[in-house]
Copies of this chain bind each other. A is one copy, B any other.
Amino acid sequence: MTTPQRVDADLGWALGRVTRAHLHTAQEVVSGLPGGPRGYQVLAAANDGEVSTQLAIARMLGVDRTVMTYLLDELEGAGLVERRPDPADRRARRIVLTAAGRERLCELDRRLREAEERLLAPLEPAERDTLRELLRRLATGTGHDGASACRVAEEISAADGC
């Protein structure tokens, strides 16, 4: 029988709390944007071009493909993105930002950055960078040597290619 852990030693607890806090902050920052914080993430994902079909974005963000549909409906309705037929695959739609979308994204980027720094205030600047980097590597499933370990990605979607 192992020693019972304290709650505040629980990774899940800390993750949940920090994520919830971040979500709460982001909600205010992006207020008015269709889809809230996730709407922002869609814009960001669509903007960096690597992934641009609906399904690719959905997988990257961890949302269901049916959810993606109405998320994009709203963003498109707001004039921030366009659905264009993919020339290489006529089933798929490429999501591209409109000029307004790019502008909005930049604006939100800046404000989110500020808000995040406030959120990370209890940590020293170097520690903030460390945290960002560690989380980024976990989220992308990249080991310290650059190897793709892909744990997190696996957990998120077994169907995801690794």
- Over the window 6-32 of chain A, the binary record of Cβ atoms lying under 8 Å from chain B Cβ atoms (1 yes, 0 no) is 111111111111111111111000000
**Contact of B44 with A138 in the complex, beta carbons under 8 Å:** no
Q: Name the contact of A25 in the complex, choosing from B6, B121, B134, B155 (C-beta under 8 A).
A: B155
Q: Name the contact of A47 in the complex, choosing from B4, B12, B26, B62 (C-beta under 8 A).
A: B4
Q: Check: A96 CB closer than 8 A to any chain B CB.
A: no
Number of interface residues of A (CB under 8 A): 75
Judged by DSSP, the binding face of A is helix
Report A129 CB to chain B, min CB distance, Å.
11
Query: Known contacts A15-B15, A18-B152; is A123 also within 8 Å of B134 by CB?
Result: yes
Q: Name the contact of A122 in the complex, choosing from B8, B110, B122, B143 (C-beta under 8 A).
A: B143
